[in-house]
Amino acid sequence: MVVQHIVNFLQNTEYKSLSEDSIETAKKCVLDWLGCVYAGKYEKAYRISRQAFKATQGAGRCKVIGEEEKTSPFAAVFTNATQASALDYDDGHRQPVGHPGSTVISTLWTISDLLEKVHGRDWLLSIICGYEIAIRCGIVMNSHHDSRFYGSGGWALFGAAAAGAKLMKLNQESTKNALTICEVHGPTAQCGKSISNGSMTKESVGWGSVTALSSLLLSNQGFTGPDDILLDKDIYKENSTKVFRDLGDRYEINHVYFKPFPSCKWTHSPITAALKIRNNNPFSHSDVQTITVQSFDKALTLDHKKPTTSVEAQYSIPYTLACALVHGDVAPIHVAEDHLNDEDIMSLINKVHLVHAPDLERHFPETRPARVIIKIKDGTTFTEEIYHTKGDPERPFSWKDIEDKFHMCSHNYYAQNRREQIIDSIRNLEDIEDLNELIRSL
């Protein structure tokens, strides 16, 4: 059974068995996640989530990051996860076609808030274990992504439950039940429906985190689930036994990507191609006659020509590409709702045409390729083809890249010296005796 294989992995994996690469990547994931949480505070989805859960607050004991008052565990985990994913700025992995960190780390953060004392070393170990389970479950569940596409909350919740079980030191039976309860209680996370109209439901990351937390609390009290996970074998292309065979020998966290732009990963190759053309050729955005973007089939769904919400902008190749040509970047401010009527961007959007490219399709989901062809009014044509963007495992973020992103996301909340202190704490997580001191300080 897959679940027993996972339970054995969680019970037997120790910090001393981890590679330096995995530990370093986990720290990057934590700092990147925290930056995304602060960036997400500008989004309506965060403000609405916070207000909606006010009624459940009661005598709360958990923290929403960046706020003084405490709230209920479920309100905290939903809000933190929603913030982390609100800008589509969070880390990801290409094979499961989505984002592990916003669910795994958000859930583990709230669990830590419920525990008396958490050592940083145990927290890092739990994160790494959680990413392994999340990513592999996602690989299985989205192996037929062309017909059944699960958003991140629908598969990363398994990793969140695994990480929580590891940190809480649950016994084998409770760990198994936490994972199997997730299967039944978890959101279907139908990502395509959210993409099509740019809704705040996105990939059900918030509810996936709530499900993982509730599954852990239930299983710890003796609530039971089915015998195994990934039971819908008839709809999966990948064999789950095969995917989990090298669990503990090969660490998928080493293959996560980080995002330089606050938008769907499928927009990043078109953005990168447009920036390369813009930076290498002397023309103005007002000189553009037509822009053709050739890419894989799923990317063609990101065709919002006049986004009216931040989420629609994040899921729009025409908008983000036009933004790149006009401003030379795509930053959080550019997908904010008060920026969506930028006249220069609007003048370019209708010149962008998305076209399916069969030769690029075969590279998805291993890469997110795009070919951008820009024709200017004098008849000159520029073409760029991109397979890997900055932040991909092939072009990885350095620690400084992660630091710079965190500074940019959190500068409105902390002075420079405080941001440096937070970075230093995360850089040395394994030495923190009580993680709750860091949680309380945020």
State pTM to two decimals: 0.95
DSSP per-residue codes, 25-89: HHHHHHHHHHHHHHHHTTSHHHHHHHHHTGGG-SS--EEPTT-SSEE-HHHHHHHHHHHHHTTS-
Fill in the amino acid letter for 121. Answer: R
Contact of 163 with 107, CB cutoff 8 Å: yes
Structure token pair of residue 291: 């822009």
Per-residue pLDDT of the chain (442 residues; tens, 9 = 90+): 899 999 999 999 999 999 999 999 999 999 999 999 999 988 988 889 888 877 766 667 898 998 888 899 999 999 999 999 999 999 999 999 999 999 999 999 999 999 989 999 999 999 999 999 999 999 999 998 878 889 999 999 999 999 999 999 999 999 999 999 999 999 988 877 777 777 888 899 999 999 999 999 999 999 999 999 998 888 899 999 999 999 999 999 999 999 999 999 999 999 999 999 999 999 999 999 999 999 999 999 999 999 999 999 999 999 999 999 999 999 999 999 989 999 999 999 999 999 999 999 999 989 999 999 999 999 999 999 999 999 999 999 999 999 999 999 999 999 999 999 999 999 999 999 999 888 888 8
- Rounded CA separation 316/267 (Å): 7
Give the distance from CA 183 to its chain's centroid: 20
Q: Which residues lie across from 375 on neighbouring strands?
A: 290, 381
Domains of the chain: 2-259+403-441 (1.10.4100.10), 265-386 (3.30.1330.120)
Torsion angles phi and psi, residue 316, rounded to 5: -125, 115
